[in-house]
Amino acid sequence: MNVRTAITAAALAASLAGALATAAKAGPAPAQPGADKCYGIALAGKNDCAAGAGTTCAGTSTVDYDPGHWKYVAKGTCEGMKTPTGHGMLTPM
């Protein structure tokens, strides 16, 4: 195996490992006592789960502040959170 082939193989292995890690966390984040699911506040890739078509769950949102994705926040704070698109919501839009 030459150096170029070894580098290509290493890059492919790293890509596969990353894809497997993403797939492994594709479910919802574990329940958090004392927290609310707050929709519309998560940044892209930082959601705790998703609601709606085209998503698989935690960490899969592709846009900031999508009203169909939620993130856990301290109980009672969601609706007071302001984003560039509005406030957090306790139910999906």
Distance between CA 44 and CA 4 in Å, rounded?
35
DSSP secondary structure letters along 11-59: HHHHHHHHHHHHHHT-SPPPP-TTEEEEET-PPTT--SEE-STT--STT
**What are the pLDDT digits (tens) for 1-17?**
576 655 555 555 555 44
Return the pLDDT at 14: 54
Return the pLDDT at 26: 60
**What are the pLDDT digits (tens) for 47-83?**
998 766 666 688 888 899 999 899 999 999 999 999 9
**What are the pLDDT digits (tens) for 18-51?**
544 444 456 788 888 999 999 999 999 999 987 6
